[in-house]
Chain A
Amino acid sequence: MVEHAEIRMVHRGGSKINFREPVITNDSRFLLCAAGESVNVYSTSTEEYVHDLQGHTGLVTGVVLNPSNHLQVYSCSADGTVRLWDFTDAILIKTFIIGYPIYSIYVSEKHGGVVFLVVPMANYKSSELFQLVAVHLPHSGDQEVEARELSAVLCDVSPHAGAASFGREGEYIAAVRGLQLEVFFFKKQKSYRFSLKSGKKKGAKNAFTCISCHPKEDCIATGHEDGKIRMWRNFNQKKEYTYSTLHWHHGAVNTLCFTPEGTNLLSGGIESVLVHWHYTQENQKDFLPRLGAAITHIAVSPDGSLFSTSHSDNKITIIQSCVKVSAVIQGLVKGDGVWTNLIIDPRSKALVLNGKPGHLQFYSLHRDKQLYNLDIVQQEYIHEEGLDQFEVVKAAFDARGDWLATVEERRKKGAELEINLKLWAYDELTQSFVLNTTVTAPHEDQITAMFFSPSPETTMLVTTSLDGHFKAWLLADHSDANAEGFWACDFVGGYHLLKPGCCSFSADGSLLSVGFQEVVTVWSPASWELLTTLSQPPGAIRDLCFGRLSCSKYLLGASTKNQLCCWNLLTCSLEWSTPMDVSLLQTDPLSENMAAFCSQSGSSDLFVFKPSEPRPLYSQKALCTGKVQHAVFAPRDQMLESCEERTQWLNRSQLYFFTQHMDLLTFSTKTEEDRLLASSKQLMVDDSVAVTPFYLLLGKHRGQQLEKQEALTNPMAERTQLPQGSIAIKELLHTPAHVLPSASFLCAMFVRSLLISSSSAREEKEHEEGEMEREEEDSEGEADPRLGESAAWGPPEEFGAPALTKAQERELRKVKTFDHSWLSSLLDC
């Protein structure tokens, strides 16, 4: 059990940020949203990730502001705890242990010290019945408090967020489920139920989807599946209640929200239009269209100035003053499916996979942020059910990341398959991929695998298809013409009309192995000669992998008949084989390690091994339920120096994988977590500006400048340097050419005019603050990029070990000041 403690599966990056309604803080500066097992804090102005609140061990299911202290939030989680946080400093203040999995949380200003939670009904643990309970949070100094005094408020409520809402001044709570609205008055301890007809006759779908209560008046707005919004009034009577109906949405109303003053009602649904109803003048409405994807949640800042809409493509849009989208926080898009495998872009080290329909998304795992979307299909996507549209199904990068190959296909029912192979070149100037070649119908049937050759000399692409061929594509060089080279087919190969299912290049690109059903063929890409065939009778080959580094002589193949085979290519014989139902085989590009995911009795197991060693490095049974379809080794920024044998395989790269439910999981080790913890402690949060890497750079610099100015004794401030220098240049340029001295003389003078004059008083300080010095030097260097000398003037710290002693350095600086005064005096006269 030791290794389980050491290596833990975690959600890191790519978690759902649209799972629950986000919270905008009172000052509208931060947006908090539940993201997997943590609560992410984003800046609303810069859309940057600030930090996260970590501590929950289950899925976070709700975030609300503490009504009695606006600098704190409550979060609830499926792990059965409610936690109180200081979100500005990401400090966990208290943990309340409830003991039941919690599905959502509601608070009200009037009910201080009480939170309302949706938990499963105690008696019906297995079934889908939930109740709303009030939990009095005990006052106690301890970090962890047990709060087990639950008092039921409403039975049989919906576990979805947005299905309950507090009314005016917390006097009542209204909840919807199915066809029923229930309003519970706290003062009278009485509840009223209103039900609607199922209305199947006229095709109306009356079921409630969401609810919001007016903050100032007794009016409840409910959204319905058929797109209607009903405004309920007089609901403290059984019979005389009344409602009016607003209808704009054509699909279900996903979410409703009143603004804090109650003057407007916001609604959103599948149309991806934010509708803005004027309260009491319901026929007047404003729209904010084209928000990109179906709206799932709407949140309004407490002052009403900012709205945020969560979208089904894992995006949060921040909208300023009802009309302008000011920021977009984009998480990892999880569309209908991932057809391309998980790929790592060699250049940006970003994770690449299907994003928006017809796009590839580049997602930075280290920064947990989407970098950009690349439109592959380049056709308008029509939001309509039942249409067959082009979808990106394969993508591959070459070794350096200069080329990207994509395959898109459209399958119409009864019609021919349409396939396009597109090759994209990386453009250094625009820092993105530019379409180079489009091959329509590269194969006659579906493409099963596509890889670039890893050899550095040639850029070659190999595609295998169900039409029984594999094709090699080469960049045709037109060295004579100005035109760019384009890609053309170089070789078409096949083997006894069998259908190739997979292919793999050896690490140096000298061998290509293609799996033709039961037969593995090995080809030489240089001469397109069939070198050898390997076969292991039972089962078609599903996955092929060459070993890396020291194990490059091994070829591994996983067959459909529960066999994992390892061939030695030097002897062309089977080295070993083991009965395993391998669903996915993945190699680590930076080490010899390979990861095999096996599906067994409904759950997946992971084995990490080296082909040369019979014993797995690491194994984990029952990783997750369902089959693991996609996994990738992502290289680390910094290597870990773990000596533990069990965790060593995670030193160079991290293994990410997608579960059946589209959760991106990875493995984390103890050392890694320690390091993260340490780094987060170092991070000092200035609460005036959101902390971004750029801010850290700039802010520190600015702060030091301030200090510096205070410390200055010499009136000759650094700032006045620049104008002086420019005067020198001006004089230089304005002097008639025939009276100028020789250029070599002038050049030295000119260069010196650009150097810094530092007073001796500042020198001491500069020694202490080497970092500032470095930046100053940088800015000097930028002043005239033609001067390559600035590096020579750089302080010794830059080269790691100090080469000069302090005394020597002081000497050097004195020379520098002397030079400058001399120069200025020269200029003055």
Chain B
Amino acid sequence: MGEFKVHRVRFFDYMPTAIRAMAFNAHTERLALARMDGSVEIFNFTDHYFQEKVIPGKDSRSIESLCWVGGRLFSAGLNGEIAEYDLENLRPKYSLEAYGGPIWTIISNTQGTQLAIGCEDGTVKLFEVLEEHIQFERNLDRQKGRIISLSWHPSGTHIAAGMMDMIRVFDVPTGHAVQRLLVDRGFGGSKSRETVVWSVAFLSDHTVVSGDSAGKVQVWDGHTGTLVKTHLVTKWDVLALSVSKDESSVVAGTSEGTVIQFQFIAPTLHQQQDKEWVRTRTFKNHTHDVRALAEIETAIVSGGMDTHLVVRPLLEKFDENIEMAGFDPVLLLFFPQRNLVSCAKKAGLLLFQFPGQLELWRLGDSDEHGKPGDRLPLKRKPEKLLLLKRKGEDHICCSALSSCGGWLAYSTVSSVLYTLHTSSASPRTPPRCLLPPANHQSSLLLLPSLSASMCTPSSPSQVSGSSNMSPQLGCSSLENHRFLLQPIHLMTTSGDGKWLAAANSDCEIHVYNLQKLKLHCIVPVYGSCPSAMGIHPTTNNMTVVHADQQLFEYSIVEKQYTDWSRKLQKQGLHNVWLDRDTPVTHVTFNSKNPNQVVLHDMHMFCIIDQSLPLPDQKTQFYNQMTLRSLSEQERPSHLHAFKICKTFQDLLCVSLLDDQSLVVVERPLLAITSQLPAPVRQKKFAT
């Protein structure tokens, strides 16, 4: 594998924000997820839960609820506005004041023609969904007390509304409330406190399921308004409910961090009448409140205060027994699947991107030598050179650092792009806006190694670049002749500044010639989204890693896959490699050894040595430990191309500096957990 001096960076205190709402689009198999800071993330569930798009947040925006109408995404929040998102340009399309005070919930009917929102002032407002816009239609009967949750009957004729201490059922055509279901208060001291019906679900057989702050999941008959069954599931709140598509199962998320499944089961096996809702399984993957929940065909997806998204596959829905495969079926998504850290390879600088600020750090230095595994004493401590706060309400969506460390750029949604020159003599220079506010926003920035030009994809169809960092000089845009719909999410340039590769969410990768400023070629489309790519500085071969862990190497000059890539595809990747559950987020190269490619995902980093034989299925994949125990003579026979290191965990960035030292940016999950607010108190056995 070779020996490196490692900069183990733990001073990037990145803190993800809590998940607030979730909506699953069964048609496109996309999950939209809203966080507390107002950002929205789109995950593609057909493509290994890949984080396809991120819409950055905004200070004034808070999202309480998300809702899909066809392919359109709406959100509503406590700022009283309804917003629709432009999923191509990754920004809000428009927002609309609802004039009902804070909005707690938004839902659409199954036909996708109407939206209903629940407001603080007790009104349920219906909006008509038009082609490009939505329009207020009418109010349902106004109630006393706020409307916390809504659920539309699948036929569209009734709406159930969860309120304080009660549930109302509205007849939609007339707008009158037809049922009033009183929800009991909790026991003991909480008797005086109002019960909040956090979530309701209206099933097609007119059953209403409710989850409330007294810890109950209750099943009501919506026709008669009578209580059918009460399940007391927790001492705390039941915050979220989700119904499966066939309405045979309901999951409930609680403040204790548990997700509890209820199933509609007949008490005896052979007669299928008289089914009842029975509490069945309990999943505990969270430590804090489960605020958002979605039961999809094959899995239960949950998220909450502890910021990670949990995908719990329902094993009985799969044909083959996954348990036999020997890995934990629960998938936990912690970190954003894009780069928050940029590294200046020559200067040894790191740029950390936070939603509200940028931090520029100089790495520490040590001139001592030691055995592998030793800690070296620092000659110079890592130093924070610059703290750059953004302007305006919009959060930073991307940032970049040139490899010489002299140039830094960031952008926000509202189409302002700042760059500044950081001369090493006076690192504390105030930021200078070198680019005029452009009329486009950018979601991705790239400062190529030569620091001569900057590339930014703007509207989906074009990539614009500004060379020499001056507004006067050749600001050019690369117009794509093909009509593209999806935004570019990944971009890389070659070391010599000649080539630019850009990948979009439609899995297409375009390679441009920057010198001629035109499209060079299109890499053959593979069925999974590229999650990381890099162009080799000397050979100009492009290494692409996809969300399904497949690995390709494409020769840009020859416009075809390289021999090594063909060999790899022919032999197939090792199952252990394919079974990893986090995508590779970064590809770099070793400038000293052109055969080596450095990749990393959250749990490991890997050095691929193309000169070594590929592993077949029978070889031991993680072989570093065995290699160490072997003698020098035996070692070569056991080597294979994938050298994996798991010493460092919870990785955000692994990069190889020009002086052959490795920068490893870690963000330990424990540190994130310790910064979370305290969870609800639970009696633990033997404490």
Contacts and interface: CB of A to CB of B under 8 A. Distances in A.
Interface of A: 168, 197, 201, 216-219, 233-236, 239-245, 250, 280-283
Contact of B268 (A217, A250, A283): A217
A218 B316 contact: no
B685 A218 contact: no
A281 B231 CA distance: 7
B265 A234 contact: yes
Interface stretch (B204-212, B279-287, B507-515): B279-287
Interface in B240-280: 261, 263, 265-269, 278-280
A168 B271 CA distance: 13
A137 to B, nearest CB: 29
Nearest to B267: A217
B653 to A, nearest CB: 29
Contacts of B232: 281, 283
Contacts of B331: none
B96 to A, nearest CB: 43
B641 interface: no
A243 B267 contact: no
A735 B325 CA distance: 105
Contact of B278 (A168, A239, A241, A280): A280
Contact of A245 (B263, B278, B282, B685): B282
Most chain A beta-carbon contacts within 10 A, residue among B280, B317, B323 = B280
Given A218-B268, A241-B316, A282-B279, 17 more contacts: A217-B267, A218-B266, A218-B267, A233-B278, A233-B280, A234-B263, A234-B269, A235-B269, A239-B316, A239-B317, A242-B263, A242-B265, A243-B281, A244-B279, A245-B281, A245-B282, A280-B278
8 contacts: A168-B268, A217-B267, A218-B267, A233-B265, A235-B269, A239-B316, A280-B278, A283-B233
Given A239-B317, A250-B685, A283-B232, A244 B267 contact: no
Most chain B beta-carbon contacts within 10 A, residue among A197, A235, A236, A239 = A239
Contacts of A245: 281-282
B228 to A, nearest CB: 12
A168 B233 CA distance: 28
Nearest to B281: A244
B436 to A, nearest CB: 57
Nearest to B685: A250
B323 A242 contact: no
Contacts of B280: 233, 242-244
Contacts of A235: 269
A700 B280 CA distance: 60
A240 B244 CA distance: 14
A244 B323 contact: no
Smallest CB-CB A-B distances: 3 pairs: A217-B267, A239-B316, A244-B280
Nearest to A282: B279
Contact of B323 (A197, A219, A233, A283): A197
Given A242-B281, A283-B232, A283-B233, A219 B263 contact: no
A235 to B, nearest CB: 8
Interface in B303-332: 316-317, 323, 328
A233 B264 CA distance: 11
Contacts of A201: 328
A201 B326 CA distance: 11
A234 B233 CA distance: 22
A474 B317 CA distance: 81
A217 B269 CA distance: 8
Interface string B663-687: 0000000000000000000000110
A218 B323 CA distance: 26
B316 A240 contact: yes
A631 B551 CA distance: 78
Nearest to B323: A197
Contacts of B279: 244, 282
B278 A244 contact: yes
A578 B280 CA distance: 72
Contacts of B233: 283
Nearest to B265: A233
A236 B281 CA distance: 18
Contacts of B267: 216-219
Nearest to A262: B267
Contacts of B281: 242-245
Contacts of B265: 233-234, 242
Nearest to A236: B269
B138 to A, nearest CB: 43
Interface in B145-174: none
A337 to B, nearest CB: 29
A523 B485 CA distance: 111
Nearest to A240: B316
Contacts of A250: 685-686
B271 to A, nearest CB: 10
Contacts of B263: 233-234, 242
Nearest to A169: B268
A502 to B, nearest CB: 47
A248 to B, nearest CB: 9
Contacts of A240: 316
Contacts of A233: 263, 265, 278, 280
Interface string B76-111: 000000000000000000000000000000000000
Nearest to A232: B280
A241 B266 CA distance: 12
A282 B282 CA distance: 13
A217 B268 CA distance: 5
Given A239-B317, A250-B685, A283-B233, A244 B282 contact: yes
Contacts of B328: 201
A244 B249 CA distance: 13
A235 B685 CA distance: 32
A803 B323 CA distance: 93
Interface string B464-503: 0000000000000000000000000000000000000000
A235 B267 CA distance: 11
Interface in B199-244: 232-233
Nearest to B229: A280
Contacts of A216: 267
A386 to B, nearest CB: 15
B621 to A, nearest CB: 20
A471 B395 CA distance: 90
Most chain A beta-carbon contacts within 10 A, residue among B263, B269, B685 = B269
Nearest to B316: A239
Nearest to A242: B280
Contacts of B685: 250
Most chain B beta-carbon contacts within 10 A, residue among A235, A236, A283 = A283
B256 to A, nearest CB: 13
A697 B73 CA distance: 90
Contacts of A218: 266-269
A197 B265 CA distance: 25
A240 B317 CA distance: 7
A17 B685 CA distance: 33
A16 B647 CA distance: 56
B589 to A, nearest CB: 37
A695 to B, nearest CB: 46
Nearest to B235: A283
A243 B279 CA distance: 9
Contacts of A281: 232
Contacts of A168: 268
A454 B230 CA distance: 74
A216 B269 CA distance: 11
B646 to A, nearest CB: 17
A517 B2 CA distance: 70
Contacts of A239: 316-317
A385 to B, nearest CB: 14
A281 B316 CA distance: 25
Contacts of B316: 239-242
A216 B279 CA distance: 18
Most chain B beta-carbon contacts within 10 A, residue among A168, A234, A282 = A234
B580 to A, nearest CB: 17
A243 B268 CA distance: 15
